[in-house]
Structure 1
């Protein structure tokens, strides 16, 4: 089973479960503003998901001065998380559902 490392600001904290990583990123790190539309959201997975679900690659590249390899890396992170994570659990935990693991 892969271990999941928080890469925000060189945090480096490691988690056994991806859901724990996403909750950590959402709670322990500052929210950021999307450079494309200004939406304020948690850094990490939710910011990546927003960027690629709500905006085109071209918008992302222009706003973040990113190159193709940076885009691919973030798309791969998003894909890896979505293949492994129970996003419903994450949302329940962030909303304070006491029955969530």
Structure 2
């Protein structure tokens, strides 16, 4: 990935120097997402992807979102890259207003 992290939600072209900034932006600047599998409302972007793949099977995701294997692989790669790079506790603290 480039040295900048893109938001990518709803055509948003905001870009950030850190992954933490990008995820906080997605969480605070965009509408929440309703999971099409279970109806849970979660922040859009990384947290929506994490919810979908941690709480549901890939088959449920494919059916609910009319997705294909490329869609699954793309989201799994995003989730993996963020989890390998980000300080997730910093993100949670910033969203909760602790930092």
Indicate whether the TM-score tops 0.5.
Answer: yes
Tell me, in whole angstroms, the C-alpha distance in 2 between the residues paired with 1:86 and 1:38: 28
Tell me, in whole angstroms, the C-alpha distance in 1 between the residues paired with 2:33 and 2:49: 11
Tell me, in whole angstroms, the C-alpha distance in 2 between the residues paired with 1:2 and 1:53: 27
Post-superposition shift, 1:2?
A: 2.2
Aligned-partner SS, 1:22: helix
Q: Which runs of 4+ in 1 moved over 3 A?
A: none
Post-superposition shift, 1:75?
A: 0.3
Aligned-partner SS, 2:50: helix
Unaligned stretches of 5+ residues in structure 1:
none
Unaligned stretches of 5+ residues in structure 2:
none
Tell me, in whole angstroms, the C-alpha distance in 2 between the residues paired with 1:37 and 1:19: 27
The aligned counterpart of 1:65 is 66
The aligned counterpart of 1:51 is 52
What CA RMSD, in Å, does the superposition of the two structures yield over aligned residues? 0.9
**How many pairs does the alignment contain?**
98
TM-score, reference length from structure 2: 0.96
